[in-house]
Each structure stands twice: as structure tokens, then as C-alpha cells.
Amino acid sequence: MRWRYRLWQMWLNFTVKKALPPTARQEIAAVLLPAEMRLFDHFSPRDQQHSYLVYQTLRRAGRADPPLLAAALLHDIGKTQTPLTPWDRMLPVLVEKVAPRLAQRWGAGEPHGWRRPFAVRQQHAAWGAAMAQAAGSDPLTVALIARHQDQLLPHQNTPHDQLLRALQWADEQS
């Protein structure tokens, strides 16, 4: 884990309150289906910024794959099912570093009580994939959202894995 990156994310979680500018929203609307755009609108301003930064990072890297770009914009949409405070978001990340098995066990249950942040962190990819599928997203977009937190092994190099690696790389940059 890059601590400076995590501190930067925490700072943004506490400070970003502004909506995206109209030009960014127009750019996003050109990529997403109307039903996907309605999902995007459920994000907090901070999460919209993050998703847009992931998208922009991929675009600057020369990526133009529509399913990949849609996945960049929607990869964390499952987090909207059970919104978390910035403090809630930090706790599972910290516990994962010192006790990964414990964090995984706490995240396997229902998102209630003190385990809620762990469940959201662990399960939001599956929730987001289901939401994207219900919105009519491309099957590849759905698959990328579902797997965006998967650990890829070096030998995994299918075209789908390459797209997933690109998404994960852009997510880590943002």
C-alpha cells in the first residue's frame, strides 16, 4: 500500500464537495448509456471525481475501448448501495494491511453494524456488477466491474485480463 496515496485519498474524501463541471458530464454521457448515467448520478461528488479521474487516466494512456471506459466510470458503483463515511472507508484498508484474513472474514457477512465497512469493501464489486447488468451495460463492462479488485497472476494475460490490468492500473493512479 502506498501510504501517501491513501492519505491523498482520505484528504479528497473529506474535501471534495463540488460536482463535476458540465463539460465532464457531457464527456461521461457520451460514454455511458442513459441507465448507466443514472447510476453514475448516485455517486457522491468525490466518487464521481474519482471515477472520472480513472476514466481520464485511461484516455491519456490511449485507451478507447468502450466497455473499459464505462467500467472505469462505474467500477465503484456498488458502494452506493451502502454509503460510507470517509472514516468508514479507511478502517477496512488499514485492517487489510495488518490482518488480511480477519478483514476478509469480517467482510463476508451482511453490511450491518461495525462490519458494514468491511462488507462494502469486499462485496461492492459484485453489487456493482449486478447494478450495471440491470442497467443494460455491455457484458464486458459488467465483468470488469465484477473483477476490478481481483488479484491477477502474472501468467493471466487474456485480452480480458489485459483490460482488467489497465483498469486496475488507472484506479491505482487516481
Lowest average pLDDT, out of 26-40, 100-114, 130-144, 146-160, goes to: 100-114
Nearest alpha carbon to residue 43 among 9, 73, 21, 15: 73
Looking up residue 134, the CATH number of its domain turns out to be 1.10.3210
Q: Is residue 12 very low, low, confident or very high in pLDDT (cuts 50, 70, 90)?
A: low
pLDDT (0 to 100) of residue 121: 92
User: 79: domain range?
Assistant: 3-173
Mean pLDDT check: name the lowest of 5-9, 29-33, 63-67, 158-162: 5-9
Q: Rounded to an integer, what distance in angstroms lies between the CA atom of residue 26 and that of residue 148?
A: 25
Looking at per-residue pLDDT, the higher value among 2 and 149 belongs to 149
Overall number of domains in the chain: 1
Average pLDDT over residues 96-123: 88
Higher pLDDT, 75 or 18: 75
pTM of this structure: 0.87
**What pLDDT is stored for residue 1 in this prediction?**
43
Amino acid (one-letter) located at 99: A
